[in-house]
Structure 1
Amino acid sequence: MLTQSATLATNERIQALRANGVPVTHLAFGEAGLPVAPEIAAALAAAAGRNSYGPTAGIPELRAAAAGYFDRRGLPTAPGQIVAGPGSKPLLHALLSVLPGDVVLPRPSWVSYAAQASLLGKEVVWVPVPEGSGGVPDPALLGPALVAARARGLRPGILVLTLPDNPTGALAGASTVRAVCEIAAEHGLMVISDEIYRDLAHEPGSVLSPAEIIPERTVVTTGLSKATALGGWRLGVCRLPEAELTARLIGVASEIWSNPTTPVQVAAAYVLAEPEPVRAFVAAGLGLHRAVVRAAYETVLAAGAGCPAPGGGFYLYPDLEAARGNASSRADRDAAGSGAGLGGAADLAELLLERYRIGVLPGSAFGDDPRGLRFRLATSLLYGDTDEQRWTALRSTDPARLPWIAEALARLGTAVAELTGKGHGDLR
């Protein structure tokens, strides 16, 4: 039985704890944590009266704006190649439904990819990511994994990549992306390139889209929820390589969501046209995400964890293997009873929440080995509990030093250090 998404379930659990007066440092949910830019809010408000059904693929001004958005990123696009939906997640599910074959995923990868494959009766072929990276399968392992899958009777047909990555926060290098795309083409795979974090790459221009390498085999998806922090507005778009696939996707969309919400589409057209206020807001958000996640990265490294370097967005994927044998730490001893140590990712995430009041997601939620002591943390909900705090963080030249952010990072460092044996001090 398919259970509730791990990200949503954990977020609801943490919110319930907070509502009951339990202070929790919330690092478990990938909400971008920014206020709404006033110019974007005004665009939505101005369209509030547009209450008629619209075209299934999206209103013309949105499709044209999305085409221009991709054009400016080196992907020549016609408006007819664009399909919009109520968030990129429904679009991804619809794409998996119309593309033939089983699904090839990097391990680890975002929680919903495998879940959606399961909903559609498709098998998943897992391929580990390169050391210290994420979002793409290891090119040295991809070809053999495809051959082995076919030998087991599977039909790998779709490869999903995430650039930059969720959950690791890493960004695959251009040479790795090229190698993976060459193997995908050789084996006849269609590629879905989830680029919703593209505009939050820490080094501008560092994302190489598979659509630049194998355009005829690549669908690119993005949305409003990350760079402009509009997750609750639910608007995603995808860029399709050819007319037949576009028609099939529109057919599915017409029977599920009819059309995306029209006022949100109007606001999305404004966002994707990238006027100066939007560019400035995205740039400020990028600076904030980059500063705080890099401060968190330095914190967990200093506390004894391993961790891929962040390359985009606001995620980290620490590895606390050093905690496995650290039965001398008070937390480990108390949690395990006998001092036998932590059993795996779920134990670690539960310990962090119950003892340290730090919410994270276990690596096992992303298809990782459940015995590994890895977890995903998101720094984006540290920016503040009020719009005033969030605007302060957004405008700060050194946001990691703001008291409410610095305190949360210190709590994280203390917990990790105690678990790895780098420190045994009590939390304050």
Structure 2
Amino acid sequence: MQRQWTAPAPADRDDGGLPVLPELLDSFVAAAGHTAPQPVGGSAELRSAACGYWSRRGLWTDPEHVVVAPGAEPLLLALLASAPGGDVLLPRPCAAWYAPLVRLVDRRAHHAPVPAECGGLPDPFALLETARRIRAEGGVPRVLLLSAADDPTGTVAPPELLHEVCEAAVAEGLLIVSDETWRDTVHHPQGTVLLSPAEMSPEHVIVLSDLVSAFTPAGWPAAIARFPATERGAELRGRVLSLLAAVRSGLPTSIAAAAAYALGEPEPVRGRMAAAARAHGAVAAAVYRALTAVGALARPPQAGRHLYADLDELRGVLAARGITDSVELERELVRRIGPSVAGGHRFGDPPHTLRLRLATLPLLGAAEESRLRALQAPDPLELPHVATALADFETAFRDLIEDGPVP
């Protein structure tokens, strides 16, 4: 039976989330009585916790090179507004919230296509061509925004491609902003090599990470940024802090306390992160199998809570149902399976393409109790509520392909 839903808002995050880790909640509650505001850019304690987090990933950092803000969106907005004027280059597809922020600071966004084998990084040759085209049209390419562990595609860029992209960006004089929000959600860490652009071009890379991906609930916004240890990095960090201070964009005390606890990565946090990655990985793999079984094209998901599919091979079948672009494809699938679907037009792909992003979180359960059971299960696919959700998903796609034309 099909369910009726209204179209989803063009957001880049799922509603709700996983149950709050009890130890994280304890740190949040313990700080609730503190009335003194947090300093803009983060307290010394919180910035030191961020340094420890990055050092454990091979990126040595001093607290004076770190900025903390209430969410990745205000942090990236301040960063784009502070960077030298010029155009911004984005992968195609990319996270839905990138391009609107570029437009908000009156910059032009230019998309460069990603290689067939992964998302998150533009093809290095396409990147060079895009930068040269911008100059030929009188523009000035200044910033490249990328993500090695990618939303929307759920893929991880191979190190050799990352190296080529960094070389091309540096050769073109681009400041690289590396969105590493999803680096701690890799489904199989032992078999996946994930490097940061900051390991390859430390003087040219700002690392940005939204903690709500792996550490904190969506309702507790917190993000961290690591600036290069250079004169240029210090100047840019100072401008970002000035902008954040102008709009009083500091973290609430309770969220700051929870973020510091999470960034310390005690055993409960590490256990939750591993359980979440395992559960999302299992469900994403099942979704991938269901999509490819009906003829959709997709890359095997490696990280995060989403995967990206291309239904162009089914264009003739879908056209018979009145579906000719990603807007119509999204509308029909939202009607069939709910607001876990977003058309590729939201992520920079042209509307005429038949691409979409699918979220795995709803398949783990509608209620927090159900999602917690999925995290704790050795194999979440064996849980009845997960198996039922996946069966409904498969049926919806099969019926979409096999149903007759729209009356």
TM-score for both structures, normalised by structure 1: 0.87
Aligned counterparts, 1:259-408, within 5 A: 259-326=250-317, 333=320, 335-336=321-322, 342-355=323-336, 357=338, 359-408=340-389
Q: Secondary structure at the match of 2:139?
A: coil
- RMSD value over aligned CA atoms? 2.0
Preserved contact between residue 190 and residue 218 of structure 1 (Cα < 8 Å): yes
Distance 1:135 1:95 in 2: 20
Take 2:8 and 2:331, find their aligned partners in 1: how far apart are those partners? Answer: 14
Unaligned runs of 5+ in 2: 1-5
- Give the alignment of 1:139-178 within 5 angstroms: 139-178=124-163
CA shift, 1:229, in A, is 4.6
CA contact (8 A) 1:135 1:170 kept: yes
Residue 223 of structure 2 aligns with which residue?
A: 236
- 1:189-240 Cα shifts (integer Å, max 9, x gaps): 0011000100012232621100001111111111221112511101111111
Distance 2:151 2:107 in 1: 22
Letter in 2 for 1:157: R
Q: CA deviation at 1:187?
A: 0.6
Q: In structure 2, do the counterparts of structure 1 residues 92 and 28 end up closer, same or farther at CA, with 3 Å as the change threshold?
A: closer
Aligned counterpart in structure 1 of residue 237 of structure 2, from 229, 232, 246: 246
How far 1:105 sits from its partner (Å)? Answer: 0.3
Is residue 12–residue 97 contact of structure 2 (8 Å, CA) maintained in 1?
A: no
For residue 60 of structure 1, report the CA deviation from its aligned partner.
1.3
**Which of 214, 231, 236 is residue 227 of structure 1 equivalent to?**
214
Partner of residue 40, structure 2: 56
**Pair 1:42 & 2:26 matched:** yes
CA shift digits 1:372-413 (9 cap, x unpaired): 110001111222222221211110111123222222222222
* Counterpart residue number, 2:73: 89
For residues 82-114 of structure 1, give each alpha carbon's deviation from its aligned partner in whole angstroms, at most 9, with x where no partner exists.
100001111011111111221100011111111
CA distance in 2, matches of 1:172, 1:258: 33
Aligned to 2:53: 69
How many angstroms does 1:155 deviate by? 1.1
Q: Which runs of 5+ in 1 are unaligned?
A: 1-8, 14-26, 337-341
2:88 matches 1:103: yes
Paired with 1:10 and 1:236, the residues of 2 have a C-alpha distance of 28
Is residue 183 from structure 1 mapped to residue 181 from structure 2 by the alignment?
Answer: no
Offset at 1:424?
A: 5.0
Tell me the CA shift for residue 33 of structure 1. 2.7
Asked if structure 1 preserves the Cα contact closer than 8 Å seen for 2:211 and 2:222, the reply is yes
CA separation of 1:50/1:10 partners in 2, compared to 1, >3 Å: closer, same or farther? farther
Closer, same or farther in 2 for the Cα pair 1:356/1:373, shift >3 Å?
A: same
Distance 1:186 1:55, change over 3 A: same
1:359 CA drift (Å): 4.2
Q: In the TM superposition, what is the alpha-carbon distance from 1:355 to its structure 2 partner? A: 4.6
Number of residue pairs the alignment of both structures matches: 392
Q: 1:107·1:366 contact (CA, 8 Å) conserved in 2?
A: yes
Aligned equivalents of 1:345, 1:268: Cα separation in 2: 37
Question: Does residue 206 of structure 1 match 2:186?
Answer: no
Aligned partners of 1:305 and 1:416 also within 8 Å: no
Matched, 1:215 2:202: yes
- Could you tell me which residue of structure 2 aligns to residue 24 of structure 1? none
Give 2:3's aligned residue.
none
Of stretches 109-118 and 398-407 in structure 1, the one that deviates more from structure 2 is: 398-407
Partner of 1:132: 117
The residue number in structure 2 matching 1:409 is 390
Q: Does the alignment pair 1:197 with 2:192?
A: no
- The CA deviation at 1:124 is 1.0
Three-state SS of the structure 2 residue aligned to 1:58 is coil
| Structure 1 residues 11 and 418: CA distance shift in structure 2, 3 A | closer
Question: Counterpart amino acid of 1:234?
Answer: P
Residue 213 of structure 1 aligns with an amino acid whose one-letter code is M
Structure 2 counterpart SS, 1:159: strand
Is the Cα contact below 8 Å between 2:216 and 2:262 reproduced in 1?
no
SS of the residue corresponding to residue 194 of structure 2 reads coil
Contact 1:159–1:184 (Cα < 8 Å) also in 2: yes
**Contact 1:303 / 1:414 at 8 angstroms: preserved in 2?**
no
**Distance in 1, Cα, partners of 2:16 & 2:305:** 8
CA contact (8 A) 2:148 2:156 kept: yes
- Structure 1 letter corresponding to 2:195: L
Q: 1:262 to 1:358 in 2, by over 3 A?
A: closer
Distance 1:103 1:371 in 2: 24
Q: Which residue of 2 aligns with 1:4?
A: none
CA distance in 2, matches of 1:28, 1:80: 30
